[in-house]
A and B are shown apart, each in its own frame.
Chain A
Amino acid sequence: MLYREAGDFKTSYGDDSQTFPIKLDRWAYWALLAVALAVIPFIVNDYWVNAVFLPFLIYAIAALGLNILTGYCGQVSLGTGGFMAVGAYSCYKLMTAFPDVNIAFHVIISGLITAAVGMLFGLPSLRIKGFYLAVATLAAQFFLVWLFNRVGWFYNYSASGQISAPERTLMGFRITGPETQAWATYLFCLVFVIASAWICRNLTRGSMGRKWMAIRDMDIAAEIIGVNPLRAKLSAFGISSFFIGVSGALFFAVYLGAVEVGEAFGINKSFLVLFMIIIGGLGSILGSFLGAAFMVLLPVLLKNVLVDGLGWPTDLAAHLQFMISGGLIVLFLIAEPHGMAQLWRITKEKLRMWPFPH
């Protein structure tokens, strides 16, 4: 009734293959963009940006990246934390080596460096798949963290082994360092998120995305119909790592400002991002966002409700938070094994019929 496609006529091929075929979806999309770009920057404060928006936006980019590799191309990866570390350390080295270049370029170049590293570690995927590949990428995770911990050049030989982001600007506005404005860092990350989602959407529905999905669904069949597995798999590793590298660079430079590789980019991070795409929905752009929101925002929400709202002891709240998050994950996966994106798809189908299902 409310959610319908009647009267929405498609008169061209362009109309027919658009991302949001239903008018209501298009409106919602443009309204969301307008709010995110034109309303939120005026009302955010430090708390909302640093505790809610920045982690959500940055993890959304990481989830988009991993979703290309795992969701679309079917290559399981546990190296996300390591690749994020590559992005962060490349960004640090670039920021300190070229202080006059603006930060946006550093972030993009960090992504490119990570893409190269990702392709290198993607080479084993040509010979092995499934769990065996997961183990090979796990090696990447441990190797990269070890490397950044071990070799002083990566952290400019600082005494603590930490890297910390110096102040860098974009068009005169501070983006990194302690004296940033909340809206500036928010908009900076938001632009990267919008660009990433737009690129991902268009890559995955084009010929490249079709090749990835063919490889995912049955690699031998894909090879027979003319998909080059070498190029498909390595491009998936490269592009996926690019986005993960960008998110790592933003995570370090804009969000935290100082990181320690073992703590910030350990194996837990790899699992966190993997859980995001599994819960959000494999092979779905929307799913990456939903998964990131679920994993990042739920703990903050629970903490605010239980500790600040109800005044419960912090340790009780922390334990409850584990239980509630864990319980909800199980519940979601039982209700819909294909993730929250599929849940939303089904809801949409039902809403189209409502209130007169056949």
Chain B
Amino acid sequence: MKKLITAMVLGSVCAGPVMAELTFPSLSYRTGPYAANGIPFADGYADYFTLINERDGGIGGEMINMIECETGYNTEKGVECYESTKGEGALLYQPLSTGITYQLIPRVSADGIPMHTLGYGRTSASDGEVFEWIFNYPATYWDGASVAIKYLLDENDGSLEGKKIALVYHNSAYGKEPIRTLTELSEEHGFELMELPVDHPGQEQKSQWLQIRREQPDNVIMWGWGVMNQVAIQEAVNIRYPMDQFIGIWWSGSENDVRPAGDRASGYKALNFHAVGDDFALYDDLEEYVWSKGLAAGAGDQAGTVLYNRGIYAAMIAVEGAKKAQEIHGVTDITPAQMRDGMEQLEMTEETMTELGLEGFGPTFSASCSNHGGSGQAAINQWNAEADSWEVLTDYIQSDQDLIQRLVEEDATAYAAENNIERRCE
């Protein structure tokens, strides 16, 4: 109740006239079947912005105004959120939903507002020549698929000939993304691909796992989100599928996904494109400027989880993009178009990350006019139930860029032809 009153008072104070500030909407979901994964991300995203405001007085002296809007992972609500926030001078959208991303790609392109889909969304949007306003670095779904197969190749002495690999996926635009790459890779490496779709929201997977038990695939790859992850891992445990042969994409690799299955979830692997844990200098600042002052978003209990870190990573890229934009254009009160330039010339180096207190947090990459997809590297993490933590198994693995570039080019060209877009950057 006290919190409620505080929030109300804060709300009425904040409702006063706004000064020039940088607006970053947060299209979050703290309710519904995807909330378990949506909450930590939204908290991390909000906390990083609070830290920048509290510690640095904003970006280049301009305070950040984050508007949160609840989408419930629902596209209709996503549209409402987009329409209600775009008028407030939104600089960058991060919808955290592939479905909403598809919805917003034409809209943000028409309105000229950049959108960053951090490791999700439409893979071919990494072609900046066609998708001027969309960014999806540091890695895309096709990178993820390629990295997973590369890792399996490594495990199997370089050959997947005659192996059987099952793909358990969320039956939506999100889950269908990797199929194209995996089909290509299965032809190249001679493995058999089994496709097992799971319908929204993913609580019902008995038949899929029965099929896995019957066919005994050598590996299972999963593209899941929300409640589907927990159910899948529990089902895998139930049929006694060897957990170390089960690999999830980076959206299927948070604590919330593995904890419900208990000890037997140990050994489950997942991709990731940033570091785990809270052993970073930035966390000390978060403690000092945000949490100890009672400014933490949500319940404040998500710090250090995989998805909280990812929220921080997303906000960090937004802030760095804004800094870059201010630097290029020499103004502090940037417009969405200037923000796009900043995002496009963003360079993520070891030095930058160390400076920010996030040493070795993610892969290094640099964006350009034509490359909006980053370097395409991801590492494999493994769950250790006893230690209750994710362990990093490998270094960042580079995806098969030749194959992915070819596929991206194909898909982006088709999109450009469909929508009469001319390639830029030449």
Q: Which residues of A contact B (CB under 8 A)?
A: 45-47, 50-51, 55, 149, 159-162, 164, 166-167, 177-179, 255-260, 262-264, 266, 300, 303-304, 307-308, 310-319
Task: Find out whether the CB atom of A312 lies under 8 angstroms from the CB atom of B79.
Answer: no
Q: Which of B8, B106, B173 contacts A160 (CB 8 A)?
A: B173
In the assembled complex, 10 residue pairs joining A and B whose CB atoms fall closer than 8 Å, in A order, are A50-B79, A164-B106, A178-B107, A256-B79, A259-B75, A262-B172, A263-B172, A304-B84, A312-B8, A314-B28
Given known contacts A263-B172, A264-B75, is B10 in contact with A311 (CB within 8 Å)? yes
With an 8 A cutoff between CB atoms, is B384 at the interface? Answer: no
In Å, the complex CA distance between A179 and B107 comes to 8
In Å, the complex CA distance between A256 and B83 comes to 12
Q: Which of A159, A166, A318 contacts B72 (CB 8 A)?
A: A318
Q: Which residue of A lies closest to B11 (CB)?
A: A311
B12, B39, B172, B180 interface centre (most CB from chain A within 10 Å): B172
With an 8 A cutoff between CB atoms, is B367 at the interface? Answer: no
With an 8 A cutoff between CB atoms, is B103 at the interface? Answer: yes
In Å, the complex CA distance between A51 and B78 comes to 10
Q: Which of B4, B39, B419 contacts A316 (CB 8 A)?
A: B4
Task: Find out whether the CB atom of B106 lies under 8 angstroms from the CB atom of A257.
Answer: yes
- Mask: chain B, 86-104; 1 = CB below 8 Å from A; 0 = not: 1100000000001100110
Find chain B residues with CB under 8 A from A313 CB. 7, 68, 298
In Å, the complex CA distance between A50 and B15 comes to 24
Q: Which residues of B contact A (CB under 8 A)?
A: 4, 7-8, 10-12, 14-15, 28, 30-31, 35, 39, 68-70, 72, 74-76, 79-80, 83-84, 86-87, 98-99, 102-103, 106-107, 109-110, 122, 124, 171-173, 176-177, 179-180, 197, 199-200, 298, 411, 418-419
Task: Find out whether the CB atom of B122 lies under 8 angstroms from the CB atom of A160.
Answer: yes
Q: How many residue pairs at the A-B interface have CB separations less than 8 Å? A: 117
Task: Find out whether the CB atom of A46 lies under 8 angstroms from the CB atom of B83.
Answer: yes
Find chain B residues with CB under 8 A from A318 CB. 30-31, 70, 72
Find chain B residues with CB under 8 A from A46 CB. 83, 86-87
Task: Find out whether the CB atom of A317 lies under 8 angstroms from the CB atom of B70.
Answer: yes
Task: Find out whether the CB atom of A314 lies under 8 angstroms from the CB atom of B70.
Answer: yes
Q: Which residue of A lies closest to B85 (CB)?
A: A47
Task: Find out whether the CB atom of B11 lies under 8 angstroms from the CB atom of A47.
Answer: no
In Å, the complex CA distance between A213 and B425 comes to 65
Known: A160-B177, A312-B8, A317-B70. 20 other contacts (CB 8 A): A46-B87, A47-B87, A55-B76, A159-B176, A161-B176, A166-B418, A166-B419, A179-B110, A255-B79, A257-B107, A260-B173, A262-B171, A262-B200, A263-B172, A264-B75, A264-B76, A300-B80, A311-B7, A314-B70, A315-B31
Task: Find out whether the CB atom of B172 lies under 8 angstroms from the CB atom of A257.
Answer: no
Task: Find out whether the CB atom of B87 lies under 8 angstroms from the CB atom of A311.
Answer: no
Q: Which residue of B lies closest to A251 (CB)?
A: B76
Find chain A residues with CB under 8 A from B109 CB. 178
Q: Which of B8, B70, B411 contacts A310 (CB 8 A)?
A: B8
Q: Which of A179, A263, A266, A311 contacts B8 (CB 8 A)?
A: A311
Q: Which residue of A lies closest to B72 (CB)?
A: A318
In Å, the complex CA distance between A166 and B414 comes to 13
Find chain A residues with CB under 8 A from B7 CB. 311-313
Find chain B residues with CB under 8 A from A178 CB. 106-107, 109-110
Q: Which residue of B lies closest to A317 (CB)?
A: B70
Task: Tell me how far the C-beta of A356 lies from the nearest C-beta in chain B, rounded to whole angstroms.
Answer: 46
Find chain A residues with CB under 8 A from B179 CB. 159
Task: Tell me how far the C-beta of B118 lies from the nearest C-beta in chain A, rounded to whole angstroms.
Answer: 18
In Å, the complex CA distance between A315 and B72 comes to 9
Task: Find out whether the CB atom of B102 lies under 8 angstroms from the CB atom of A258.
Answer: yes
Given known contacts A257-B103, A318-B70, is B75 in contact with A263 (CB within 8 Å)? yes
Given known contacts A160-B173, A262-B200, is B84 in contact with A51 (CB within 8 Å)? yes
In Å, the complex CA distance between A290 and B72 comes to 25
Q: Which of B12, B35, B98 contacts A311 (CB 8 A)?
A: B12
Find chain A residues with CB under 8 A from B79 CB. 50-51, 255-256
Task: Find out whether the CB atom of A256 lies under 8 angstroms from the CB atom of B75.
Answer: yes
Q: 8 shortest A-B CB distances, which residue pairs?
A: A311-B11, A315-B30, A178-B106, A178-B110, A160-B173, A314-B70, A51-B80, A318-B31
Find chain B residues with CB under 8 A from A266 CB. 200
In Å, the complex CA distance between A257 and B109 comes to 13
Q: Which of B35, B84, B102, B110 contacts A162 (CB 8 A)?
A: B102
Find chain B residues with CB under 8 A from A263 CB. 74-75, 99, 172, 200
Find chain B residues with CB under 8 A from A259 CB. 75
Task: Find out whether the CB atom of B70 lies under 8 angstroms from the CB atom of A149.
Answer: no
Task: Tell me how far the C-beta of B93 lies from the nearest C-beta in chain A, rounded to whole angstroms.
Answer: 14
In Å, the complex CA distance between A300 and B74 comes to 14
Task: Find out whether the CB atom of B76 lies under 8 angstroms from the CB atom of A256.
Answer: yes
Task: Find out whether the CB atom of A310 lies under 8 angstroms from the CB atom of B11.
Answer: yes
Given known contacts A159-B180, A178-B110, A310-B8, is B70 in contact with A315 (CB within 8 Å)? yes
Task: Find out whether the CB atom of B102 lies under 8 angstroms from the CB atom of A160.
Answer: yes
In Å, the complex CA distance between A167 and B298 comes to 41
Q: Which residue of B lies closest to A315 (CB)?
A: B30
Task: Tell me how far the C-beta of B26 lies from the nearest C-beta in chain A, rounded to whole angstroms.
Answer: 9
Task: Tell me how far the C-beta of B133 lies from the nearest C-beta in chain A, rounded to whole angstroms.
Answer: 11
Find chain A residues with CB under 8 A from B75 CB. 256, 259-260, 263-264
In Å, the complex CA distance between A189 and B14 comes to 38
In Å, the complex CA distance between A229 and B321 comes to 67
Find chain B residues with CB under 8 A from A179 CB. 110
Task: Find out whether the CB atom of A262 lies under 8 angstroms from the CB atom of B110.
Answer: no
Task: Tell me how far the C-beta of A87 lies from the nearest C-beta in chain B, rounded to whole angstroms.
Answer: 17
In Å, the complex CA distance between A309 and B111 comes to 26
In Å, the complex CA distance between A312 and B12 comes to 10
Task: Tell me how far the C-beta of B14 lies from the nearest C-beta in chain A, rounded to whole angstroms.
Answer: 6
In Å, the complex CA distance between A268 and B156 comes to 45
Given known contacts A262-B171, A303-B70, A313-B7, is B177 in contact with A159 (CB within 8 Å)? yes
In Å, the complex CA distance between A178 and B115 comes to 15
In Å, the complex CA distance between A317 and B106 comes to 29
Task: Tell me how far the C-beta of B411 lies from the nearest C-beta in chain A, rounded to whole angstroms.
Answer: 6
Find chain A residues with CB under 8 A from B103 CB. 256-258
In Å, the complex CA distance between A172 and B11 comes to 45
Task: Find out whether the CB atom of B99 lies under 8 angstroms from the CB atom of A260.
Answer: yes
Find chain B residues with CB under 8 A from A317 CB. 70
Q: Which of B30, B83, B110, B197 contacts A314 (CB 8 A)?
A: B30
Find chain B residues with CB under 8 A from A311 CB. 7-8, 10-12, 14-15
Task: Tell me how far the C-beta of B119 lies from the nearest C-beta in chain A, rounded to whole angstroms.
Answer: 16
Task: Find out whether the CB atom of A50 lies under 8 angstroms from the CB atom of B200.
Answer: no
Find chain A residues with CB under 8 A from B298 CB. 313, 315
Find chain B residues with CB under 8 A from A164 CB. 102, 106
In Å, the complex CA distance between A317 and B7 comes to 12
In Å, the complex CA distance between A55 and B78 comes to 13
Task: Find out whether the CB atom of A50 lies under 8 angstroms from the CB atom of B80.
Answer: yes
Q: Which residue of B lies closest to A316 (CB)?
A: B4
